[in-house]
Amino acid sequence: MVTTSTLSTSTSSTGMSIPSTEGDPSATQVWLYQRAERRCWTVGYFDPAGHWQPESDHSNPEDAASRVHWLNGGHHDPRCHDAGCVEARDRAEAEVDRLEATVDRLSATATRWELQARRRARRVRELQRRMGRR
């Protein structure tokens, strides 16, 4: 559901046109991001007085855009908007968890086998050495 309201605008110290929400109880917070430094994008919002209120910093604009999307009520992955996509992602994450557990189990088994093989090789060398002395 999209809510629209008539908002006046003012200009912030950064020269950006921002909506004024003073006296408008239906207005909602709109999160934005802007480049703060060469490799820093800051997520935040303009308060009703027009002052920038930072929320988080990000090293690239994609991460900042993703955070803004989420803060504005979007799904965590901005490329994924429908329920089918969300379900597919959840199934994929569950499969990744299952596969990681399998890899851990196989790795532990391989380590056990390697230790057993080393012990057997040591016994064989020891027996060969004993037989060579007789």
Q: Are residues 61 and 9 part of one domain?
A: yes
Q: Are residues 70 and 17 part of one domain?
A: yes
Please give the structure tokens belonging to residue 25.
């109880």
pLDDT at position 82 is: 59
Q: Are residues 41 and 28 part of one domain?
A: yes
- Domain stops at, among 79, 94, 111: 79
Kindly report the length of the chain: 134
Alpha-carbon Rg of the chain, whole angstroms? 30
Q: Are residues 86 and 68 part of one domain?
A: no
Q: Are residues 125 and 101 part of one domain?
A: yes
Domain with 88, as residue range(s), is: 82-134
Q: Which of 22, 8, 71, 80 is nearest to 44 (CA)?
A: 71
Q: In whole angstroms, give the CA distance from residue 120 to residue 98.
A: 33
Q: Are residues 95 and 61 part of one domain?
A: no
pLDDT tens column, 97-128: 999 999 999 999 999 999 999 999 999 999 99
Q: Are residues 65 and 123 part of one domain?
A: no
Q: Are residues 115 and 90 part of one domain?
A: yes
Please give the structure tokens belonging to residue 79.
């490329």
Q: Are residues 86 and 26 part of one domain?
A: no
Q: Are residues 94 and 65 part of one domain?
A: no
Question: What does DSSP say about strands 52-58 and 40-46: parallel, antiparallel, or unpaired?
Answer: antiparallel
Q: Are residues 21 and 87 part of one domain?
A: no
pLDDT at position 23 is: 46
Residue 107 dihedral angles phi and psi, to the nearest 5°:
-65, -45
Question: What does DSSP say about strands 17-20 and 8-11: parallel, antiparallel, or unpaired?
Answer: antiparallel
pLDDT at position 40 is: 93
CB 39 within 8 A of CB 33: no
- Domain stops at, among 79, 102, 122: 79
Q: Are residues 93 and 41 part of one domain?
A: no
Into how many domains does the chain fold? 2
Coil/strand/helix, residue 68: helix
Confidence band for 17, pLDDT divided at 50, 70 and 90: very low
pLDDT tens column, 54-82: 999 998 898 898 889 888 888 765 555 55
7, 30, 50, 83, 133 from 43: Cα distances, Å? 22, 11, 15, 27, 78
